[in-house]
Chain A
Amino acid sequence: MISPANYVALAAILFVIGGVGVLVRRNALVVFMCVELMLNAVNLAFVAFARLHGDLTGQVIAFFVMVVAAAEVVVGLAILTSIFRARRSASVDDANLLKY
């Protein structure tokens, strides 16, 4: 059996990649994908620990996260589509009207 430390390490790496992606990329679609990466990194950690402890709670939470992520993507992509239609751009830096 592979050591749980490996799973946690993989989850951490994936989370950091996702986080950096959210911060540095301008394309909203890519930002979304990075968010997915972060969520799935967390899921991986949940499942790994659930397996380690022989408890199903972590796995159930992973399902919840997937459902919420799916809903979030639906709403997010809808907003993204309408912004793109209006502005011909998917850059998150261009949509900055809601400010001081």
Chain B
Amino acid sequence: MTGSLAGALAGTVTHAAAVTTLPAVGVQRLAWLLLAFPTAGATILLLGGRRTNAWGHLVGCAMSLAAFGYGVIAFAAMLGYPAGQRGREVQVYTWIPAIGRFHANIGLLLDPLSICFVLLITGVGSLIHIYSIGYMSHDPERRRFFGYLNLFITAMLLLVLADNYVALYAGWEGVGLASYLLIGFWQFKPAAAVAAKKAFVANRVGDAGLSLGIMLMFATFGSVSFAGVFSAAHQASATTITAIGLLLLLGACGKSAQLPLQSWLLDAMEGPTPVSALIHAATMVTAGVYLIVRSAPIFNLSANARLLVTIVGAATLLFGAIIGCAKDDIKKALAGSTMSQIGYMMLAAGLGPAGYALAIAHLLSHGFFKAGLFLGAGSVKHAMNDDVDMRRFGGLATAMKITFVTFTFGYLAIIGVPPFSGFFTKDPIIEAAFDQGGTSGAILGTAALIGAGITGFYMTRVLLLTFTGKRRWEDDRHPHEVSTVMTSPMVILAIGSLGAGGFLMIANRLIGFLRPVVGTPPPSHGFFAPLSWLTLALVLVGAGIAWVMYSRREVPVTAPRGSFVTVAARKDLYGDALNESLLMRPGQWLTRLAVYFDNRGLDGIVNTIAATMGGLSGRVRRVQTGFVRSYALSMLVGALLLVGALLLVQL
């Protein structure tokens, strides 16, 4: 990237930051309701105890829906304002009163970017709540589950609504906590407990990056509010800005499961399936993308930080796609695809103003189709007695018609077949990567293009293995369509998978809406540029290969050994092995060394002194014989010595 380009981008920033936020008026002043509803739900459900068992899930859904309802009202109010005045601030209360120059307010920021997330989180989140009523109906702890879901929604809303980095961080940590509680919801399963811990620890690494970034901002700008940081950003040195950008990227990598902090995401499949849907579609993994896009004025100033974001995104999108190809567990295959799709978003976000809006567009459409796919996988799992091995599925299309159709919609959306969502939101990212120009643009674009082809392969594989071909399940399975309360969210999400992408991207609806926050991207090439056809062709080639491999040929019920690539991908491309050998083992050695030093060194000194004293007194005490006459003799000797000494002094 050339200096002049960076300069031009810096120009865009000042423009974007110049849009001031106004105090909220009217209905938007009640923005705290967004947080209050799910907080109330979580409080009632988690503190209410067993009394709320009977109706707890309804409260959970109602609170989530109420937040969505208010989100729609606030969105409608926002659309009523002219484009430059849509950023509205709501002061909730003073968190830290003025100490010298510093004070911290809790304020909520309603602007086009945050409202997109509010609608996604509460909308898709509510659908997942409703689905969970059916999915968790046999679970004795269903009430607790809904309490955690509401907590998750609260934390995520705080994250996206905060008008400063500290409040954002509070939401960020809340998301980490809620995901920990939900991934480990079935904590009686050791695998789930371990997965929850792993997710928490991997996230802590990212959180450390974010918190250091915030501290660096405070040290540099004396402020942690978005307005304060962004307006002063151009005065800071390039090194500082790059450092802040990289620290924010580290935070984003943790939450969004990007390389090198990706390892928790696949294990997180141990949680109940609605949790996977929530983490992958509406909350959690989108937080990293949000952080990057929200911090656009910082990233605009540092080409190096942006370059690293794109590299991370491109590497992760290939990494996730390759893993997705080899997994026989339907949920893990989908988890690989999430990593891959979030990689696309990061790639787009790293492209600067050319990509911010595209990242958000893909994020929103991904929210629909990925939630739909996960809920579909959940109902398949439900029907197959909690089996997730796709090699034991097959031919489910006839048994589960609604699930099959909604899953297919999600499938067509993710591989990017027009007119489904993915086509409108993924292809522009690939184009924008190529448009970046230079070597980096070519490499990033090629990676994204190849990723699209691989996506076509592994998603077709999932679809074919699960729904078509011979029935490979055992005779005691009786797959059946799930209840209406579970199918209706899937149907709504399928409609979103079909329409969302086109709705957002045609006529630049979303790009225009987000322009005040993230700046103006260059004009697109239109949706049917040659590159789009090339992408589509690659996707079809990938799908064709999958069709040959998994539809034309017999699918063995036990997985064949496979090539070394398959073996590596089954083991998550040795991500865990790498963490283990680079971090875990050296850590263990370090602690063992410390324990050894403690035992032999520090404790050794103390123990030696004690042993010496013990041995010495053991010998000395032999003097106490118990014979009165020897005591008498010692007294006599003592007395004589005393008298002798006295006499000696006197003389």
Residues of A within 8 A of B (CB): 19, 22-24, 26, 31, 92-93, 95-100
Binding site of A, secondary structure by majority: helix, strand, loop or mixed?
loop
Instruction: Decide yes or no whether B595 CB sits under 8 A from chain A.
Output: no
A92 touches B628 (CB 8 A): yes
- Residues of A contacting B623 in the complex (Cβ-Cβ under 8 angstroms): 100
A23 touches B622 (CB 8 A): no
* CA–CA, A92 and B626, complex, Å: 10
B632 touches A23 (CB 8 A): yes
A98 touches B626 (CB 8 A): yes
Instruction: Decide yes or no whether B558 CB sits under 8 A from chain A.
Output: no
- Chain B interface size band reads 10 to 19
- Distance in angstroms from B38 CB to nearest chain A CB is 74
- Distance in angstroms from A7 CB to nearest chain B CB is 19
Q: Which one of A31, A95, A98, A100 contacts B622 once the chains associate, using CB atoms below 8 Å?
A: A100
Binding site of B, secondary structure by majority: helix, strand, loop or mixed?
helix
- Distance in angstroms from A14 CB to nearest chain B CB is 15
Give B630's nearest chain A residue, CB to CB. Answer: A23
Instruction: List 18 extra interface pairs beyond A97-B626, A99-B626, A100-B622, CB under 8 A.
Output: A22-B629, A22-B632, A23-B632, A23-B633, A26-B629, A31-B628, A92-B627, A92-B628, A92-B629, A93-B627, A93-B628, A95-B628, A96-B627, A96-B628, A98-B626, A99-B624, A100-B623, A100-B625
Instruction: Decide yes or no whether B621 CB sits under 8 A from chain A.
Output: yes
Instruction: Decide yes or no whether B442 CB sits under 8 A from chain A.
Output: no
Give A22's nearest chain B residue, CB to CB. Answer: B632
Give A25's nearest chain B residue, CB to CB. Answer: B629
- Residues of A contacting B626 in the complex (Cβ-Cβ under 8 angstroms): 96-100
Instruction: Decide yes or no whether B636 CB sits under 8 A from chain A.
Output: yes
Q: Which one of A24, A26, A100 contacts B624 once the chains associate, using CB atoms below 8 Å?
A: A100
* CA–CA, A19 and B632, complex, Å: 9
Q: Which one of B621, B628, B632 contacts A100 once the chains associate, using CB atoms below 8 Å?
A: B621
- Residues of B contacting A19 in the complex (Cβ-Cβ under 8 angstroms): 636
- Residues of B contacting A96 in the complex (Cβ-Cβ under 8 angstroms): 625-628
- Residues of B contacting A26 in the complex (Cβ-Cβ under 8 angstroms): 629
10 nearest CB pairs, A to B: A99-B626, A96-B626, A100-B621, A92-B628, A100-B624, A99-B624, A22-B632, A96-B627, A98-B626, A99-B625
B207-229 at interface with A (beta carbon < 8 Å) = none
- Distance in angstroms from B142 CB to nearest chain A CB is 70
B623-647 at interface with A (beta carbon < 8 Å) = 623-629, 632-633, 636
* CA–CA, A35 and B622, complex, Å: 27
- Distance in angstroms from B566 CB to nearest chain A CB is 76
- Give 10 A-B contacts (CB < 8 Å), ordered by A residue: A19-B636, A24-B629, A92-B628, A95-B628, A99-B624, A99-B625, A99-B626, A100-B622, A100-B625, A100-B626
* CA–CA, A26 and B627, complex, Å: 10
